[in-house]
Amino acid sequence: MNEPSFDSMNKQELRQYMLNHRNDKEVFEYYLDKFTNPNNPVYPAPDSLADMSYIQKIFKQRESRGNS
């Protein structure tokens, strides 16, 4: 079977393909590379309960600004 051309798919088509081929790691990685904003902040994994409460505070601030 021929491999589909991910480059020719728009975001909605690519998403539908991913949903229909959930075990296709290649399309998942392509989707992330193409549609993930490189300027999104990266948050470290919490090391303690104090870190966890700090992360929850950040998420609540983002939600209140409408940046979910």
Q: What is the pLDDT of residues 1-60, one digit of tens each?
A: 577 899 999 999 999 999 999 999 999 999 999 988 888 878 778 888 888 888 888 889
Angle between helix axes 11-20 and 25-35 (nearest 10 degrees) is 150
Domain count, the chain: 1
Q: What is the pLDDT of residue 20?
A: 96
Model confidence, pTM: 0.54
d(CA 6, CA 10): 8
Q: Note whether residue 45 is domain-resident.
A: no
The parent domain of residue 30 ranges over 6-35
Q: Note whether residue 13 is domain-resident.
A: yes
Residue 68 has pLDDT above 60, yes or no: no
Q: Whose structure tokens read 């590379």? A: 33
Helices within the chain (DSSP H only): 11-20, 25-35, 49-65
Q: Note whether residue 49 is domain-resident.
A: no
d(CA 47, CA 61): 21
41-51 exposure pattern, b = at least 16 Cβ within 10 A, e = fewer? eeeeeeeeeee
Q: Note whether residue 62 is domain-resident.
A: no
